């Protein structure tokens, strides 16, 4: 059996699966239940010197066929005060000494504030710190959260202040709402950060209630921009982690849209050592972790990876610059008539969004690929409702078959 244990920034994690700073880690009682359910670690809901006051409601979703594609929240940091958190942290560590507990922290650009927070959570017994440089709503207006993570000088300064007094590893949680996340990662690395987690939520406006003419989530008729999370942000999270893995030497904790073992595997393959989960747990509960651990372990066995460390970054060398792609590599579409339902979706898509290379006179006949016109874009494979019916094959194979 593959070893799911992983050393992360000097901490021993029983598995890569950690709960992200969010509602599922809002109290000590919740974190203890999560550990019982199989999570190897948790990052507390963000703690500050002053607790937050939240708007209600503060969640809205983007759904397709009633499946949540993404969630937007306008939630702030923890509503609980520092003293309560100190007691919770002490109790969690007393009950679960072998689980990894990070305190997520947020403060103004003021050294004394960061030092005060760090001292108190460290004395309570946390194993690591996560500096929240990523919250994109509510807190930036107060000079905190993503405004700190959008400025390499500020992010570097705060990381340096934290490292001056911290005796446990310091992880910085970065925002994707920047032009170049690597620049911010490098600044934190230079300032002594021990690890990076990415991503926090993506700045968003989830939608408009067309009947009421109100933005969502509507707080008595008005709203504010919020943070987008869940399956829809996974490509952004993966991109950021891949970029940070290439651009820095720090251990990475991948976050964003992780709901299944496959998502976690993808993050590890592009360079993450651990992964953090929020939205999937909010929607499905702590129990999803057991399935994710089993699935990842079975996948590692199948692929011959003995450990997470061995698997980490395996796909990274294959992510290259566009100009290095092989432009001589040519593929064309091939339709398997045995599977084709003659729905015509490939024909329509190719006519109006492709290269007019799929002919279909009527629903009575099978669509036919005109090889000379097919440019190999693969749009038809994406619209075809039947798995495996349309595939992209090397041009030579197709010409000789
Ligand atoms: C309702 C909600 C509250 C959140 N609160 C925090 C927070 O207090 N601190 C923080 O660093 N991130 C917070 N996040 C961001 C998550 O930790 C995570 O970075 C983001 O949701 C992407 O992961 P996911 O797609 O698994 O949800 C919050 C996310 C949601 C949905």
Quote the distance between the C-alpha of residue 158 and its chain's center. 24
The per-residue pLDDT for range 226-246, each reduced to its tens digit, is 999 999 999 999 999 999 999
Which pLDDT band holds residue 396 (cuts at 50, 70, 90)? confident
Are 312 and 358 contained in the same domain?
A: no
Is residue 258 within 6 Å of ligand 1 at its C-beta? yes
Work out which ligand 1 atom sits closest to the CA atom of 233: 25
| Residue 135 annotated among the catalytic residues of the structure | yes
Are 364 and 287 contained in the same domain?
A: no
Are 379 and 262 contained in the same domain?
A: no
Contact 370, 359 (CB under 8 A): yes
Are 97 and 17 contained in the same domain?
A: yes
**Which of 288, 318, 348 corresponds to the end of one domain?**
318
Note the pLDDT of residue 98: 98
Are 275 and 339 contained in the same domain?
A: no
d(CA 362, CA 11): 63
> Could you tell which of 18, 19, 20 is best to mutate to test the pocket of ligand 1, judged by most ligand atoms within 8 Å of the CB?
20
Are 121 and 32 contained in the same domain?
A: yes
Are 224 and 334 contained in the same domain?
A: no
Is residue 22 within 6 Å of ligand 1 at its C-beta? yes
For residue 207, with 0-12 CB atoms within 10 Å meaning exposed, 13-18 middle and 19 or more buried, which class applies? Answer: middle
Average pLDDT, integer, range 161-185: 98
How many folded domains does the chain comprise? 2
Q: What is the mean pLDDT of the chain?
A: 97
Query: Which CATH number do you get for residue 213?
Result: 3.20.20.70
pLDDT > 70 in the chain, percent: 99
Q: Where are the beta strands (DSSP E) in 270-389?
A: 274-277, 331-335, 358-359, 368-369
Are 186 and 43 contained in the same domain?
A: yes
Predicted TM-score (pTM) of this structure: 0.97
Are 149 and 37 contained in the same domain?
A: yes
The per-residue pLDDT for range 82-136, each reduced to its tens digit, is 999 999 999 999 999 999 999 999 999 999 999 999 999 999 999 999 999 999 9
**Which of 295, 318, 341 corresponds to the end of one domain?**
318
Q: Is the pLDDT of residue 324 over 90?
A: yes
Are 240 and 357 contained in the same domain?
A: no
Are 55 and 175 contained in the same domain?
A: yes
Average pLDDT, integer, range 4-22: 98
What's the domain range around 240? 6-318
């Amino acid at each position: 059996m593959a070893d799911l244990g992983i050393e992360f920034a000097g901490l021993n994690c029983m598995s890569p699966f950690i709960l992200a700073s969010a509602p599922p880690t809002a109290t000590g009682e919740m974190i203890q239940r999560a550990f019982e359910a199989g999570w190897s670690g948790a990052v507390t809901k963000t703690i500050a010197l002053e607790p937050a006051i939240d708007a209600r409601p503060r969640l809205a979703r983007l759904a397709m066929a009633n499946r949540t594609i993404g969630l937007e929240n306008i939630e702030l940091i923890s509503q609980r005060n520092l003293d309560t958190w100190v007691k919770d942290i002490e109790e969690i560590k007393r009950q679960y000494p072998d689980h990894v507990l990070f305190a997520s922290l947020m403060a103004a650009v003021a050294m004394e504030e960061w030092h005060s927070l760090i001292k108190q959570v460290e004395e309570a017994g946390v194993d690591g710190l996560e500096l929240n440089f990523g919250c994109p709503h509510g807190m930036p207006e107060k000079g905190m959260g993503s405004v700190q993570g959008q400025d390499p000088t500020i992010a570097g300064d705060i990381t340096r202040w934290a490292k001056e007094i911290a005796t446990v590893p310091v992880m910085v949680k970065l925002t994707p709402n920047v032009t170049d996340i690597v620049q911010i990662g490098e600044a934190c690395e230079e300032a002594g950060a021990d690890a990076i987690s990415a991503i926090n939520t993506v700045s968003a406006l989830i939608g408009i209630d067309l009947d009421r003419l109100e933005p969502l989530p509507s707080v008595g008729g008005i709203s504010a921009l919020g943070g987008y999370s869940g399956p829809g942000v996974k490509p952004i999270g993966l991109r950021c982690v891949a970029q940070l893995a290439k651009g820095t030497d720090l251990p990475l904790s991948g976050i964003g849209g992780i709901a299944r073992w496959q998502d976690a595997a993808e993050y590890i393959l592009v360079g993450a050592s651990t992964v953090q989960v929020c939205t999937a747990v909010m929607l499905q509960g702590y129990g999803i972790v057991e399935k994710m651990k089993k699935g990842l372990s079975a996948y590692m066995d199948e692929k011959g990876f003995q450990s997470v460390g061995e698997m980490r970054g395996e796909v990274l060398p294959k992510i290259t610059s566009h100009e290095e792609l092989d432009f001589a590599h040519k593929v064309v579409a091939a339709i398997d008539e045995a599977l084709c339902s003659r729905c015509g979706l490939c024909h329509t898509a190719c006519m109006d969004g492709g290269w007019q290379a799929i002919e279909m006179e009527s629903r009575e006949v099978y669509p036919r690929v005109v090889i000379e016109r097919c440019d190999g874009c693969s749009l038809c494979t994406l619209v075809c409702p039947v798995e495996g019916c349309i595939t992209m094959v090397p041009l030579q194979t197709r010409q000789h078959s």
